[in-house]
Amino acid sequence: DGGITQSPKYLFRKEGQNVTLSCEQNLNHDAMYWYRQDPGQGLRLIYYSQIVNDFQKGDIAEGYSVSREKKESFPLTVTSAQKNPTAFYLCASSITVSSYEQYFGPGTRLTVT
Amino acid sequence: EDKVVQSPLSLVVHEGDTVTLNCSYEVTNFRSLLWYKQEKKAPTFLFMLTSSGIEKKSGRLSSILDKKELFSILNITATQTGDSAIYLCAGSIYNQGGKLIFGQGTELSVKP
């Protein structure tokens, strides 16, 4: 089955710890994205990657970091510098960066206390 | 600043009703408007609208874009409980790496 997987589904961390969220796709898509969703708000773009070894900041990149060493993987690290990390995180991919139809993974709900 | 605004934010209807969800946008270098349905977790793609005035249909769902007035509507006829979800609209931008500007979403609840 082709698709996007995110793990874990739920993640709990103590304040001050870095945490890495996994995103893997087997759709052979070039472009991948990370969004954050808060209650009552739409999705906000954190980072995106057009191709392997390349990524750009989105609208709310502060306190986050990413890597794109393999086409199928785009992990997101939430660092201790992120002031309000508790949220629902969604990963997405598209065939290319010009393909505006994005396919989403099931999300990871991160709770930091 | 680019923005997308959806209304209403929440809506409760009964099965069989017809609903209209609204999406207005102010997006520089606007390319297209996308609609997604989100049930609990992953948003699923519904429509992408690029041209003004051309309706797209999929079963009981339809959508249209007005590029002059900068808005789109999503219609759902003969609603079913399975239509209960958050509906998201997003604007895409030319030459911005696939970046989408999302609205807040409309939470639709369909009661039996």
CA dihedral A101, A102, A103, A108 (to 10 degrees): -160
* Tens digit of each residue's pLDDT (9 = 90 or more) over A57-92: 998 999 999 999 999 999 999 998 888 999 999 999
When pLDDT is cut at 50, 70 and 90, the band that residue A1 belongs to is low
Confidence of residue A42 (pLDDT cuts 50, 70, 90): confident
Task: For residue B90, list chain A residues with Cβ-Cβ distance below 8 A.
Answer: 42-43
H, E, C per residue of A33-91:
EEEEECCCCCEEEEEEEEECCEEEECCCCCCEEECCCECCECCEEECCCCCCCCEEEEE
The pLDDT tens digits of the residues spanning B11-62 come to 999 999 999 999 999 999 999 999 999 997 889 999 999 989 899 999 999 9
Q: CA–CA separation, A68 vs A66, rounded Å? A: 7
Contacts of A17 (CB under 8 A, 6+ apart): A80, A112
- Give the pLDDT confidence score for residue B95 in this predicted structure: 75
Which chain A residue lies closest to B34 (C-alpha atoms)?
A101
Rounded CA-CA distance A94/B58 in Å is 21
Task: Give DSSP secondary structure letters for B17-53.
Answer: --EEEEEEEE-TTEEEEEEEEESSS-EEEEEEE-STT
CB contact (8 A) between residue A100 and residue B41: no
Say which of B42, B92, B105 has its CB closest to residue A100: B92
- Parallel, antiparallel or unpaired: strands B100-102 and A108-112: unpaired
Residue of B nearest to A42 (CA): B104
Residue among B98, B102, B103 whose CB faces A100 most closely: B98
Task: State which amino acid sits at residue B19.
Answer: V
